[in-house]
Every structure is written in C-alpha cells, then in structure tokens.
Chains A and B, each alone.
Chain A
Amino acid sequence: GAVVSQHPSWVICKSGTSVKIECRSLDFQATTMFWYRQFPKQSLMLMATSNEGSKATYEQGVEKDKFLINHASLTLSTLTVTSAHPEDSSFYICSARDGRQGAYRAFFGQGTRLTVV
C-alpha cells in the first residue's frame, strides 16, 4: 500500500530555534499535502493545505510566517516551525492525498512529536 514517511518522529529544540519536519510520499504522487497539529487528547486540527508548486493555504488563526510550508515536488512537503516557543510543543502529522484523478485517498505520516524547551 501507499506509504508516507515523516521525519523526524520526535524532536526537542530550544526556544527561539527553528525545526523542519519532512513528509515524503514514497510510492505515489501527492498533489495535495495536509498538515495537522494534535494536542493531547484532542483531534487533528488542520493547519494548512499545500498543493505542489503553489503557496499553501492556511487555516484561520495559523500564522503563515511561523509555520512555513513548502511543497516543491510531488513527493515532498516540509513544515518549518520558526522561532519555536514552548506553546508550539505538539504532535504534528502530515497527510498526502493520492494525486490520481478520482483517487480520494489520503495517507498519513507517522507524526512528529515536537517539544520546545
């Protein structure tokens, strides 16, 4: 089946530094990538949607200058948390939508646990 690889699985960083999370679709072309944030015991909250080659669309309340999303190719999207602060500590999950027309399927990465100290 389709595989989405997300790295790193966990990261600890100091407050004020930046962290990059990668999401790769290994055996299919992902025309759309979804990025989510999940706080403990809560649901997946959509942060932004990115389409290959175009700017990401951010959800209301999500700072686009803080959460930089790049989707430069059909198999790779990155989320960079800039100037991270303790309140950014969370679980981040990417999801890649199969790009074949009519293929309404989304595959999830393993998630990244970010801790900002």
Chain B
Amino acid sequence: AQTVTQSQPEMSVQEAETVTLSCTYDTSESDYYLFWYKQPPSRQMILVIRQEAYKQQNATENRFSVNFQKAAKSFSLKISDSQLGDAAMYFCALLNNNDMRFGAGTRLTVKP
C-alpha cells in the first residue's frame, strides 16, 4: 500500500513571508500524481496544486509552488507572500489508478 507522510502538524508564518510545508511518500507505482489540498473550516477540499510524477519540472500556481524530488519521494509546498486567507489545514495526497491517500495534514497559521 502507498503511504503519505507529513511530519509538521503545525506551521506558522508571518503575513507576506514564505513558508514551506513538507511531504514524503512511498509507492511502488511508476505512474502517479501528487497533490496539495487546502481544507478551510468549511471542510471543503480545495485543490492548491498538482504534479504529474513523469514531469521533472516543478508545478507552479501563482504564489504556490512545489519542490518535487522523485528519487527522494519528496513533495514540498512553498507558499510565497503568505496571506491571511492561506490559513487552513493543508493535506498532501497521492493518487494512482485505484488509490488516493492523504497525509496527516499541516495546520498553517498566518500571523498579521
């Protein structure tokens, strides 16, 4: 079975600063996708960014970018110019053909 590990239960960042959330994973599949989801108090899962495993180039979405290290099975999320609205739970996820699993999550606090 594949696993996803987030070792930072909580992170804090000052508004306008940069923060990096860590994620490692394990899978025996060669074809898979990695995601970062944001979950606000409403509990709606919001896709932040997606990375195809076969692509070497790191995905970027505006202030959000990833550092994908396939050999190390690492997939960290960098949030630049943090905003108060970024405060939420962040989950790393791994999807392959018939399985999608999540890490334990990181609660991000943004200080004004």
Contacts and interface: CB of A to CB of B under 8 A. Distances in A.
A44 interface: yes
Interface residues of B, number: 21
Interface stretch (A11-19, A62-70, A76-84, A104-112): A104-112
Nearest to A1: B47
Given A32-B97, A44-B102, 7 more contacts: A34-B100, A36-B102, A38-B43, A43-B103, A105-B33, A106-B100, A111-B44
A93 B45 contact: yes
A104 B103 contact: no
A48 B32 CA distance: 19
A42 B100 CA distance: 16
A97 B100 contact: yes
Given A97-B95, A104-B95, A106-B95, A43 B43 contact: no
Interface in A31-45: 32, 34, 36, 38, 42-44
A81 to B, nearest CB: 18
A49 B44 contact: no
A106 B31 CA distance: 15
Given A104-B32, A104-B95, A46 B45 contact: no
B109 to A, nearest CB: 14
Given A43-B103, A43-B104, A43-B105, A49 B98 contact: yes
A63 to B, nearest CB: 19
Interface string A82-107: 00000000010101010000001110
Contacts of B61: none
